[in-house]
Structure formats: structure tokens, C-alpha cells
């Protein structure tokens, strides 16, 4: 493994832990440059037919890939099949397909150019979304679109079947379907110039336990001529032609990580109990059935947050009740009796649904405009359709309904009335639904909801604190705005005091309260959250073992002292010092 080239390092986003060391394999996905040209009016129908035949060919290819996916290891098999199903849905009457068809007709351009233009428009709309999980779904759109483009241009797909055993794959972009079909027995890991932490490509990498780094700018330029590469999925480094000392250091870290993985796997099976015997409920945040297996394997007690808006975002029409029900039922059945907390549509703001945008133009300040529960109450038929799907899914297991961005008791009353009315209608029609009706909870993610938590608690069955929006609205900081993002800090005492308001109100009314924002999945915050009185935490599945390991070392009585001092602090910097000192003592 010697090389004469100088060692060089790039950094990206660490999306799947582990260290891969091996020969470079540059993946060519078979994408060709597209040339736009005009189509005469008389040939437009032929051009549309050519496009739709390519879509059909792509769907047939997906069916074949599903059959091959069933040969994957059991831990990744279901996730791979589910991901391919997502691609199938994206090519079945989706915004992508309809948009391309319309561009061919209206702009009179060739199908390849129409497809590239529509893909660019969708990518742009997703890139404006602050929520990283939803933003990352653009990888699926790209993957589905590129599959059709290869059929249009009759470009052969270069599969991974001939990748030499023990290689590390480098590419400009890897779709979730690409990752799903990598054989961990032959491919050690991968890196790509495009992609994010919450995308399906990253999810598949974690399901397959393949070390991976995405979003590495200049990756392929740096890889030119390289023979050996290290992909560090922990720190997000990609090292080309490492020297002997570097190589030895990474091999030692790889061995240490293997030991750590074995320890965390063991932790996942342990009870979530603090050092002084307080039981904590750890749940997962997900938005697709494909993530259920990972959540269960990593010890989730249930799903604390199931996001539903992704079903509305990549299409020009709205998903009907049956489509929503099938997705929800798959999650509920996959949890096998564990509770699933289903958040109703949280669209608006930076999360846009084309089918709704046509009726309700974006306001001057989307973050403060028509979004989440306001949207649902503005369009009752939309809300009733989703509620019906949720109640039907509730016939298959334990669920809760979570209402986003409530700011008043009146909104809770309206929503509850609609839920009860929908339940009565379904019962009259003889449709099986959750019986009794599921608990209905409020997200605490605005200062109004936190400060009015005592009143909301009288009308809610549970609370879930969304710390991402709560921090944004409290500090008046848009974390997606690079100019002020550094000021975004959930350690701010004002945010902590609002959490205390909500926890106190929930405790006095005897209703459960959880945290499902990003801080719940960061072990640095675990002691502070427990000290503030939280006993339910919900996070991305990959964070579960680390948070469980941390909480098992925490004494709640000592954490309460930390929380009291933090709430009384003058600024976030002081809180961070207190938290770091506490964590260092564990």
C-alpha cells in the first residue's frame, strides 16, 4: 500500500461512523451532459411519449433492484426495499414527472432538458428548507431523476458489481439506491462530494455499517491519481495517499472504534436508568418506515416524533387518505406495540408543498406566517384527511397525535373538535380506528406556548418541546441564515427558563412531557435536560446509544443542581462552562 504521492486531506460531513482504509475506486454513475433543443409542435407528443417510456423503464429497473436488495444482509434488507419504494413513488405521478411533462409541452424543449430544469427547481426549493432531515430528501429526488435521465440518453449504469473487493468508493454523488446495493463484504466505505447527514444515502450507510463522508468539496479533483484513501466517518476526513505514520494512526483508531461499537451495541440492550435509579424513556425521531428497524435495533422505546410533511413536499398533488394511511400503518406495525407519536402536517415556513402553495401564496415572513397547525385549521379538509389516516393507522397499534406550533388554547380546541368529528364519521362508516381515541398533545416551540403552558396543559394530553424552533423564536435568530447562525444557542438562559415553564406546567397537571429537538440527541445536554425535569427524550436513532450511555452515568439530584445554576446564569457562555465542567466530572 505504498505511494509516492503527497498526503492530502479534505473534510466533509461525517454521516456513518467508522474508518475505511483501502484502494480508491472512482464511481462513474453514467451521467452525461445534457443539451437543450427545441421540439417542433408536431413532435411534442412523441417527445412526451419518449419521456414516459423512460420513466416506465426506470420503474422496471427499480423492481429488479428490489429483487436484488432482498439478497442484502437482513439488517439492511428492509431499509433498502423501502428506499427503492420511495424512488418508485417519486416516479409515479409525482411533481417531478408532472413537471417534466408540463415543461415539454409548454416550453417545447427536449425531455432531457425538461428533466434537468425540473430537477434544478426541486433542488432549489428543498435547499431553502432549514430542517436538515427534510432538506436532505432532495437526494432521493436527484437519484430518481438521474435514473430516468440515463434511460433517456441510453447511458449504461455502472454498477458496483465489479468493484474490487476491499475498495473504498469515491463519487461526485451517490444516491440512496447506490448505497443500498453496496455489498459490505466487498466495499469498505464511501465518500461523495454531494449529500448530507440526514439523507437516505447516509441512512443506508448507517444501516449497512459502512463508514461514509458526504459533502466533500473537491473530492474527485483531489482523488485524481490517488491509490489509497482513508474515509473517516467519525471526524469527516478523507485522506488521500496517507503516509506511514498517518496510516498507522488510523488503523489504531479503527481498532478502537470497533471496540467502541461493540460497547455501544451492548449499551443499546441496557435499561435507560440513571446512576441513581431514575428511569428515562428514549425514543426516536423518524420520518419514514425505513428507519424503524434501526430505531428498534438501537434500543428506542418508541417513536417520539414521526414527521409527516415529507409526503406532501415532492408532488404537485396532495397525498390522499389511503396513501397517508399506508405509510403510517407501516411505521405503527413496525414498532410492534411501541407508541408512535405522529406529528400532524408541519408545512409552511421553509417547508413548502407545491400543491398548497398554489392556493396560499407565501407571506412576507414565512416563519411567522401560515404554517403548521395554522395551515391545518385554515384548510379543514386537508386536516381531516390526515387525521382520518392517522386514526386508521391507530387501529394497528399505539399512537399519539402531536399538533405543531400551537400558540393558544383556542387552536387546541379547534383541532380536538376536528379530530373527534372525524372519528365519529369513520365510526359511522364502519372504518376501524384507534379505540379509545389517541392522546392529543401540543408542541411547545414558541415562547407563547411555553409561557402559556399552564393553560395549554388543561387541554392537552401531553407536551413535546421542539427546541429547534423554540430557540429560533425566542432568540429571533434564523439558524439557516449564515450571517446570524452563530448566535443560535439553545444554552441561552431564556430558552432554559421557557423549558422550565413548560415542565412545571406539565408536572402540575400530571401529563407527560418530552424533548424532541436536536439537543435531545446530544450527550452534552443530557444531564442538563434531566436536571430540568425531562424524563422523555426523542432523537435521531443513531444518537440513542450515546445518550443512553451518558444518562446511565448521571445522578439526577446533581443534575438538578446543574440545571438550577444554568437557569440562573446571565448568558449562554456561562451555561456552557457549567455544563462542560459537569460532564467532565462524570
Averaged over 105-123, what is the pLDDT? 90
Compute the C-alpha angle 535/541/543, nearest 5°. 70
Nearest-Å Rg of the Cα atoms of the chain is 25
CB atoms under 10 Å from CB of 495, counted, come to 24
- Highest mean pLDDT (candidates 23-27, 158-162, 421-425): 421-425
Judge if 240 and 279 occupy the same domain.
Answer: no
Considering the chain, what is the average pLDDT of its residues? 87
Judge if 65 and 163 occupy the same domain.
Answer: no
Averaged over 301-311, what is the pLDDT? 90
Structural domain includes residue 560: yes
C-alpha–C-alpha distance, residues 134 and 222, integer Å? 30
Judge if 557 and 492 occupy the same domain.
Answer: yes
Select from 372, 434, 358, 352 the least CA-distant residue to 399: 434
- pLDDT tens digits along 4-23: 578 999 999 888 889 999 99
C-alpha–C-alpha distance, residues 126 and 339, integer Å? 30
Last residue of a domain, one of 113, 134, 153: 153
Last residue of a domain, one of 121, 153, 185: 153
Percent of the chain with pLDDT over 70: 87
Which range is least confidently modeled, 109-123, 192-206, 276-290, 545-559?
A: 192-206
SS (H, E, C) 531-560: HCCCCEEEECHHHHHHHHHHHCCCCHHHHH
pLDDT for the residue 480:
60
Q: Which residues carry out catalysis?
A: 200, 516
Judge if 550 and 469 occupy the same domain.
Answer: yes
CATH of the domain at 356: 3.20.20.60
Structural domain includes residue 393: yes
Q: How many structural domains does the chain have?
A: 3
Judge if 301 and 231 occupy the same domain.
Answer: no
Structural domain includes residue 29: no
Judge if 400 and 467 occupy the same domain.
Answer: yes
- Highest mean pLDDT (candidates 85-94, 181-190, 267-276): 267-276
3-class secondary structure, 279? strand
Judge if 233 and 306 occupy the same domain.
Answer: no
C-alpha–C-alpha distance, residues 26 and 40, integer Å? 40
- Highest mean pLDDT (candidates 89-103, 365-379, 562-576): 562-576
User: Cβ(139)–Cβ(176) under 8 Å?
Assistant: yes
CATH of the domain at 178: 3.50.30.10
C-alpha–C-alpha distance, residues 523 and 512, integer Å? 22
Structural domain includes residue 511: yes
Q: In what order do the strands lie in the sheet with 8-11?
A: 8-11, 237-240, 228-232, 19-26, 167-171, 187-192, 212-214, 13-16
Structural domain includes residue 209: yes
Structural domain includes residue 27: no
Judge if 178 and 130 occupy the same domain.
Answer: no
Judge if 101 and 208 occupy the same domain.
Answer: no
Judge if 202 and 300 occupy the same domain.
Answer: no
pLDDT for the residue 1:
47
Cα 248 versus chain centre, distance = 35
- Highest mean pLDDT (candidates 38-42, 424-428, 470-474): 424-428
Judge if 507 and 383 occupy the same domain.
Answer: yes
Last residue of a domain, one of 153, 186, 210: 153
CA atoms within 13 A on the CB side of 554: 32
Task: Answer whether residue 510 shows pLDDT above 70.
Answer: yes
Averaged over 403-415, what is the pLDDT? 96
CATH of the domain at 147: 1.10.274.10
Task: Answer whether residue 133 shows pLDDT above 80.
Answer: no
Averaged over 519-526, what is the pLDDT? 91
Task: Answer whether residue 412 shows pLDDT above 50.
Answer: yes
C-alpha–C-alpha distance, residues 322 and 332, integer Å? 15
Task: Answer whether residue 432 shows pLDDT above 90.
Answer: yes
Task: Answer whether residue 32 shows pLDDT above 90.
Answer: no
Structural domain includes residue 488: yes
User: Cβ(213)–Cβ(232) under 8 Å?
Assistant: yes
C-alpha–C-alpha distance, residues 190 and 180, integer Å? 12
Higher-confidence residue: 457 or 354?
457
For residue 67, the enclosing domain spans 43-153
Binding annotation for Mg(2+)? 445, 469
Structural domain includes residue 38: no
CB atoms under 10 Å from CB of 72, counted, come to 21
Judge if 248 and 393 occupy the same domain.
Answer: no
Binding annotation? 307, 343, 445, 468-469, 479
Amino acid at each position: 500500500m505504498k505511494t509516492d504521492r503527497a498526503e492530502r486531506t479534505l473534510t466533509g460531513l461525517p454521516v456513518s461512523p467508522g474508518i475505511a482504509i483501502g484502494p480508491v475506486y472512482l464511481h462513474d454513475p453514467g451521467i452525461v451532459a445534457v443539451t437543450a433543443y427545441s421540439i417542433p409542435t408536431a413532435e411534442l407528443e412523441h417527445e412526451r411519449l419518449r419521456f414516459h417510456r423512460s420513466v416506465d423503464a426506470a420503474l422496471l429497473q427499480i423492481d429488479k433492484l428490489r429483487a436484488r436488495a432482498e439478497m442484502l444482509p437482513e439488517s439492511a434488507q428492509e431499509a433498502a426495499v423501502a428506499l427503492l419504494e420511495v424512488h418508485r413513488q417519486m416516479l409515479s405521478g409525482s411533481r417531478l414527472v408532472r413537471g417534466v411533462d408540463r415543461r415539454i409541452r409548454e416550453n417545447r424543449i427536449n425531455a432531457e432538458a425538461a428533466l434537468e430544469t425540473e430537477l434544478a427547481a426541486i433542488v432549489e426549493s428543498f435547499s431553502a428548507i432549514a430542517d436538515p432531515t427534510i432538506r436532505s430528501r432532495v437526494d432521493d429526488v436527484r437519484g430518481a431523476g438521474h435514473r430516468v435521465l440515463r434511460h433517456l440518453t441510453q447511458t449504461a449504469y455502472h454498477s458496483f458489481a465489479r468493484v474490487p473487493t476491499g475498495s473504498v468508493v469515491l463519487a461526485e454523488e451517490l444516491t440512496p439506491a447506490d448505497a443500498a446495493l453496496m455489498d459490505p463484504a466487498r466495499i469498505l466505505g464511501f465518500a461523495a462530494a454531494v449529500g448530507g447527514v440526514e439523507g437516505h444515502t447516509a441512512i443506508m450507510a448507517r444501516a449497512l455499517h459502512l463508514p461514509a463522508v458526504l459533502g466533500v468539496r473537491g473530492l474527485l479533483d483531489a482523488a485524481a491519481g490517488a491509490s489509497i484513501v482513508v474515509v473517516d466517518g467519525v471526524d469527516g476526513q478523507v485522506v488521500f495517499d496517507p503516509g506511514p505514520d498517518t496510516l498507522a494512526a488510523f488503523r489504531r483508531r479503527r481498532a478502537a472504534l470497533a471496540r467502541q461499537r461493540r460497547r455501544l451495541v451492548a449499551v443499546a440492550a441496557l435499561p435507560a436508568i440513571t446512576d441513581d435509579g431514575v428511569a428515562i424513556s428514549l425514543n426516536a425521531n423518524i420520518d419514514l418506515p425505513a428507519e424503524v428497524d434501526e430505531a428498534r435495533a438501537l434500543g428506542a422505546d418508541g417513536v417520539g416524533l414521526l414527521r409527516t410533511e415529507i409526503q406532501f413536499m415532492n408532488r404537485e398533488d396532495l397525498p390522499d387518505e389511503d396513501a397517508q394511511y399506508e405509510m403510517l400503518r407501516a411505521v405503527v406495525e413496525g414498532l410492534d406495540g411501541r407508541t408512535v407519536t405522529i406529528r400532524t402536517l408541519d408545512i409552511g415556513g421553509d417547508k413548502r408543498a407545491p400543491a398548497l402553495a398554489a392556493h396560499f401564496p407565501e407571506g412576507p415572513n414565512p416563519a411567522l406566517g401560515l404554517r403548521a397547525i395554522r395551515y391545518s385549521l385554515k384548510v379543514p379538509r386537508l386536516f381531516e384527511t390526515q387525521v382520518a389516516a392517522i386514526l386508521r393507522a391507530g387501529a394497528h397499534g399505539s399512537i399519539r397525535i402531536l399538533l405543531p406550533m400551537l400558540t393558544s388554547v383556542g387552536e387546541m380546541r379547534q383541532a380536538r373538535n376536528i379530530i373527534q368529528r372525524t372519528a365519529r364519521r369513520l365510526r359511522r362508516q364502519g372504518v376501524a380506528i384507534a379505540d379509545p381515541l389517541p392522546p392529543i398533545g401540543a408542541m411547545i416551540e414558541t415562547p407563547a406556548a411555553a409561557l402559556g403552558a399552564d393553560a395549554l396543559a388543561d387541554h392537552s394530553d401531553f407536551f413535546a418541546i421542539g427546541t429547534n424552533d423554540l430557540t429560533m423564536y425566542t432568540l429571533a435568530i434564523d439558524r439557516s441564515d449564515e450571517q446570524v447562525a452563530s448566535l443560535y444557542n439553545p444554552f441561552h438562559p431564556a430558552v432554559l427558563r421557557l423549558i422550565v415553564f413548560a415542565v412545571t406546567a406539565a408536572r402540575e397537571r400530571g401529563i407527560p412531557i418530552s424533548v424532541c429537538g436536536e439537543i435531545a440527541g446530544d450527550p452534552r445536554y443530557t444531564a442538563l435536560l434531566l436536571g430540568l425535569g425531562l424524563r422523555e427524550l426523542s432523537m435521531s436513532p443513531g444518537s440513542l446509544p450515546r445518550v443512553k450511555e451518558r444518562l446511565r452515568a448521571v445522578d439526577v439530584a446533581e443534575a438538578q443542581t446543574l440545571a438550577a445554576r444554568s437557569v440562573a446564569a446571565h448568558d449562554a457562555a456561562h451555561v456552557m462552562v457549567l455544563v462542560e465542567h459537569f460532564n467532565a466530572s462524570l
